[in-house]
Structure 1
Amino acid sequence: MTKHVQWDLERLRIFLAVVQQGSLTRAAGALGLPQPAISRQVSRLEGECGGRLFHRNGRGVTLTPLGESILPRISSLLQEASELTAQLTDGARLPSGEVRLGALPSLYMVLCVPLFFELRESFPAIKLKIFEGSGGQIDQWLANGFIDLGLPYRYGTMRLAEVDPLVHVSSYVVGAPGSALTAEPTVRFSALHGQPLVLPGAPSGVRLTLDHMAKQAGITLNVAVEADSTQIQKAVTRLGGAYTVLPAHVAFEEVQAGTLQVSKIVEPEFERAIVLGTTTARPASRATRQVARSIREIFDRSDDFWSAHLR
């Protein structure tokens, strides 16, 4: 009949300590246990194994053939137990739960897609829900608690306690290929006077900022059509119906494809910041805080992209 043994991991650890120390006395000192307790545990293990595991001599102990044969298995078993403990401990510490993120549509490739893969790899227990919207929509979602984190724009000075600035980007006049207003790398803001424009409606941040800049410059903005959707703005512009004003990254793919043309606004420049906001409707969860950290890291890693295309 096969003998059934319930292996005691602590007893196996004592066996391994005796092997490593080469002495019951030294093993007792290393483990902080009295030597008689070490001796009892070794004797019990020998009984469970059906034979002596150590030769005793005046200088300490050495393994018997039986001890040598089981040493690799015991070492492997203890290593697996240690790895399992580490995995369970780390798993218990990993943040989990749903995080709702509001993002500008233009951030889908530079942020949203990398964020998904990073969370899946490092924090699989976090469930990410992404909602695309305009800056104004995202601010409203943050205010009413519909989302946990948001990535809207901010213009001019801002309260740093409210949001975390991630990157500052310049604004460009966007026109159809060959359009006169975007023929040069830069264009003065005053050149927008009287030109047909497709812009978001008030009270969007970009519209309020442009209206204020126009008043300061003494020019009139001819808003031919109001549209909050950047897709509509770009479509009207691409067909030559009007100009619009966007950060370069919003029209980057079209500029690369040659279907849109851009010129940086100067004198004065029109700069906006992409910021990270957290809702104040409820305390941020561990998962929310981790997603916020991951977003910051992705923006830091993509600094070359922003430097090359947006500033």
Structure 2
Amino acid sequence: MDIRQLGYFVSLFEEGSTTRAARRMNVVQPALSMQITKLEDELGQKLFERTSQGMVPTSAGELAYRLFAPILRDLSDAKQQIVSRSSTVSGRIVVGLVASVATSVLARSLAVFARQYPEVEVSACDGYSSSLMEGVRAGSLDFAIVNKGRRRLDLPAIDMLDEEMVVVTSAGSARGLGSPLMFRDLAKLPLILPSKRNGLRLIVDKIAEDEDIELSIRLEVDAFATVEQLVRNSDWATVLPAIAVSRGLSEGSLRAHRIVAPRVTRQIVCVHNPRRPLSAAARLFVEVITAELVAAAAEISRVPAAD
């Protein structure tokens, strides 16, 4: 058994296909298959079953992955730490983000990250939490920054930020709303909310269902810039995390009203595929964007709320 064989095994386990695993390891398919066979012979265990869905690990293969993957990860980290003493972190990361995070802190985070780690190539896209998590499962995304729903996640998650959601109105609204508001007060407001595909909408809908409250939803809009403009120029209201409309709140064109009984909160987490641990570059990116999220939330908290 050698490190090369372990690398081939982990690649095949994570890819589920000898073709994709061979491409990932930059070897021809027969060479990879031969090394897997040698590893099985040495261990005296069949590690994979060939099926119509691809190479499916056996119970012995599952155990081998749990034991071997951390070894390879530790070796990679050790190499990175040694190499980083004389060179910068490098590589490519592909990340997906929910729109509220992309709108509020992505540009600033990318600028900071590019300045600190210029050798890392970043590909970023936004989307709904559900579609981003599917991208992580399928392997098209290395990791994703999403809203954590009430259901238990089936992906490893790193907590990044817990944030209150607030009622947002025009600063010149004639409704004279104070702060805080009872959640039940939302039933009296004409609302603009994200669509039901959006994780933020699911949070609001679940609380409304639990509280037996029927909301008056006039418009469903997922583009936060459009929501901000509509609220600014009307007597309508929305329910969003403050950082999603931070510009309007900071400029004073929008007003935030806290919600109580119950509070409405969203939790931002980073999820990744359990078969693909985060690389050093990915972990550094998560650290940078977490710091920017925390800073943005702290900055917007200093903006006076409605009385």
TM-score (norm. length: structure 2): 0.61
Q: Is the 8 A contact 1:95 1:290 kept in 2?
A: no
- Structure 1 distance, partners of 2:270, 2:302, is 22
Gaps of 5+ in 2: 1-81
Residue 236 of structure 1 deviates from its aligned partner by 2.1
1:234 and 2:209 correspond: no
The aligned counterpart of 2:260 is 266
Q: 1:216 to 1:309 in 2, by over 3 A?
A: same
More off after superposition, 204-213 vs 151-160: 151-160
Gaps of 5+ in 1: 1-87
Q: 1:177 to 1:301 in 2, by over 3 A?
A: closer
More off after superposition, 130-139 vs 256-265: 130-139
Q: 1:302 to 1:92 in 2, by over 3 A?
A: same
Residues 102-146 of structure 1, C-alpha deviations (whole Å, 9 max, x = no match): 224444586434433443344222111221334344334333333
SS in 2 for 1:193: helix
**Paired residue total:** 224
Residue 283 of structure 1 deviates from its aligned partner by 4.5
Residue 267 of structure 1 deviates from its aligned partner by 1.0
TM-score (norm. length: structure 1): 0.60
Identity %: 22
- Structure 2 distance, partners of 1:203, 1:121, is 35
- Structure 1 distance, partners of 2:238, 2:231, is 7
The aligned counterpart of 2:215 is 221
- Structure 2 distance, partners of 1:310, 1:128, is 36
- Structure 2 distance, partners of 1:257, 1:302, is 15
More off after superposition, 103-112 vs 171-180: 103-112
Residues 52-99 of structure 1, C-alpha deviations (whole Å, 9 max, x = no match): xxxxxxxxxxxxxxxxxxxxxxxxxxxxxxxxxxxx954776432211
- Match runs of 1:1-311 below 5 Å: 89-90=83-84, 94-107=88-101, 111-156=105-150, 159=153, 162-179=156-173, 183-240=177-234, 242-280=236-274, 282-299=276-293, 304-305=298-299, 308=302
Residues 189-238 of structure 1, C-alpha deviations (whole Å, 9 max, x = no match): 10111432111222432222222222222221111122222222222222
**Between Structure 1 and Structure 2, whose CA radius of gyration is higher?**
1
Residues 247-300 of structure 1, C-alpha deviations (whole Å, 9 max, x = no match): 111112112223222211111100111212224474433432332344445556
Residue 178 of structure 1 deviates from its aligned partner by 3.0
- Structure 1 distance, partners of 2:216, 2:296, is 36
